[in-house]
Structure formats: structure tokens, C-alpha cells
Amino acid sequence: MKSIQTIPLSMLDLVAVREGGTVAEALAICLRTAQHAEGLGFTRYWLAEHHNMPGIASSATAVLVGHVASGTKKIRVGSGGVMLPNHAPLVVAEAFGTLAELYPGRIDLGLGRAPGTDGLTMRALRRDRVETEEDFPRDVAELQRLLGPVQPGQRLIANPGAGTNVPIWLLGSSLFSAQLAAERGLPYAFASHFAPRMLLQAIDLYRRLFRPSPALSQPYVVIGVPLIAAPTDEEAQFLASSTYQRVLGILKGDRRRLAAPVENFMAQLAPQERAAIEDFLGAAVVGGPDRVRAGMTALAQATQADEFMLVCDVFDPQLRLRSLEIAAAARSA
């Protein structure tokens, strides 16, 4: 049975642009948060690719990975993830191969198969490409070849990239990527920070079907955990209202900047709105130190996860750092 004391903590940053703030401020907050997470002993810091969203500043994911890696010393930095349908595998291999040469042993390449944006923006990214179900497995295999050792007769070579063996992770919120990760013997990250419904089913499928590979000898599962921690349960719920507002906006197709917290926000909503937010955040841990410890323990026991990837959207940057401190302390208590 997994104990939270043995589960590494990592962080996924959506690089939220706050109401009244700027993109430059969001990028500065991202770097300060990564440095703080490194100081707390976090294992990795990932950035998520999104496009055409005014409240998220992580669209140029590889650029931001390099920025965070340059401002930290040892924490692993990567994509959580690069949305592969938006990019030619060669371009991804060259970008992350370059990062691996600049920051050896510290770069992760997490891959998702959703576009991470709307149809109009997807067409702008890849022009007239029509995506099929076979494309993602084929593109993953091509990336593995491009980042691996150059083979005899290989004509297409990523330079930089070839021979860097950047660790590839598959990300997903359904069974498709779980099965593919198992078949390829790759580590798997489940997006339970926004789509927890199939969490247990996907993890079980991944573990049952896993085939050892040169990259990985046994299954390795990371789960996304929305986390808002504060000295008291009441303050944590207040701070979490920023996340609740963001989720409600996503559900309504209204993607705004991260809003300031609101007193008793959930109580002001219709029952169906509250239920939708609670379903979206089914894996969330919100509360004071005791509740955070209990929540992480329950997740560990239910999922037997190998690592927690925290998503912490607190409006006040300093209180966000405090939230990470409370989580780290709760884990080690």
C-alpha cells in the first residue's frame, strides 16, 4: 500500500494570466514558482500547451521549458504536454533535443493527442491536416526514432535530438493513451486534474497491459491533483473559488483570466453548476494541513500512484507558494 511519504511531488503549471495582470507577470510568477518547487524538493515541473486562451500563457511550451530550466538547477522540466497533433514530430524532436543538450538529464517530453484548442486555432497550427486515430501512435513512434540512436541507413535525423533519448511520457484522460503507453512501455500521466472520471479504469488498464521496454522496466503512473492548501479549511475554500470560477468558465465556454477569490462562491451557484464543478475537480485536495494530508492519503490508497502532479491555481502568487509548502509538509508529516 502506497504511503504519501514515499510519493514524489511534482507540479503542472498552466501559467495563468491573472485579472489585472499581464503575460509578463504570469511568466515571472511561473519561474518563481518553479524555483520554490525546486527548493521544496519537487521532482519535476511541467508546462501545458494551450492556444488562443487569454488566461493561459504557456502556448510556446518548448520556449517556456527552456526558460524555467535556465532559472533552476536540478528539478526536471518538461511538457505536460506538447499536443502532438499540432506539430510535426521532427520539429518537436529538434526543440526538445536542443533543450536536452542545454540541460542534460533534466528534460521530459510529455505528449498529448488532443489539440488543446479550438478548431480554428488547430487549423492555424497545422493548416489543412486532417487528424486520424492512427496518427498519434505513428507520430509517437517517429519521435522515439528521432530521439533515439541513429540507425544504419537512417535518412531523417533530428539534429539536435538524435541520441538524446529524451524521456517520452504519454498523457491522457481516457483509455486510448493508457493502452498505447502500456504497449510501448512508456510512463503514463493521467489528466485527473480536469477529467478524473476514468482515472481508476485507465490506471488499471495501463498496469495490466504494460510491456517492459528499454525506456521503462515496470509501470509508472503520475496523476494530476488540483491542490489548494491554506492554514485552515475555510481559507482554502475561499482561495479555491478562483479555481471554481475558472472551471465554470471552461464548462460554459468562457475562458477568462484567473479571477480573484470570492466569498461563498459555490453557494451562489445553481445545483447543476456546483455538481459540474465538483465532477471536474473530483480528484481535488482542498483544505488545511489535516485535510490535505487526508486527501493525498486517500488518493494514494485508491490509485497506488507513483507520483502526484499538483495543479495549484491560487490568485495571490505568495499564497500559491504557501499552498505548495503546506502540501510538502503534509506529505512528510
Mean pLDDT score of the chain, rounded to an integer? 94
What is the DSSP track for 13-61? E--BPBTT--HHHHHHHHHHHHHHHHHTT-SEEEE----S-TTB--SSH
User: What's the chain's Rg over C-alpha atoms?
Assistant: 19
CB distance 280 to 314 below 8 Å: no
Residue 206, amino acid: Y
pLDDT digits over 11-49, tens only? 999 999 999 999 999 999 999 999 999 999 999 999 999
Pick the CATH number of 4-332 from 3.40.190.10, 3.40.190.170, 3.90.550.10, 3.20.20.30: 3.20.20.30
Residues whose CB falls within 8 Å of the CB of residue 239, separated by 6 or more in sequence, listed in order: 228, 230, 261, 314, 315, 316, 319, 323
Query: Which cell numbers in the block locate residue 13?
Result: 503549471
User: Tens digits of per-residue pLDDT, 106-136?
Assistant: 999 999 987 645 566 666 666 556 666 688 9
* HSE (side-chain half, CA atoms, 13 Å) at 85: 24
Instruction: Please count the residues of the chain.
Output: 333
pLDDT at 86 over 50: yes
Q: Rounded to whole angstroms, what are the CA distances from 267 to 197, 239, 314?
A: 24, 15, 20
- To the nearest 10 degrees (0 to 180), the angle between helices 135-147 and 89-102 is 40
Q: Are the CB atoms for 291 and 327 separated by under 8 Å?
A: no
pLDDT tens, 128-181?
Answer: 566 666 889 999 999 999 999 999 999 999 999 999 999 999 999 999 999 999
Packed helices 317-332 and 23-39: angle between N→C axes, nearest 10 degrees: 20
Determine the pLDDT at residue 116: 47
Q: Dump the DSSP string for 88-105.
A: -HHHHHHHHHHHHHHSTT
- Residue 305 pLDDT exceeds 70: yes
Q: What integer pLDDT is reported at residue 114 of this predicted model?
A: 74
Share of the chain above pLDDT 90, in %: 86
C-alpha cell at 151: 540507425
How many Cα atoms occupy the beta-carbon half-sphere of 168 within 13 Å?
33
* 146 touches 95 (CB < 8 A): no
Single-letter amino acid code for the residue at 28: A
**Res 80 pLDDT > 70:** yes
What pLDDT score does 267 carry? 95
Average pLDDT over residues 81-93: 93
Mean pLDDT of all residues in 74-82 = 96
pLDDT at residue number 125: 62
pLDDT at 142: 97
Q: Please say if the pLDDT value at position 10 is more than 90.
A: yes
Cell of 223: 496523476
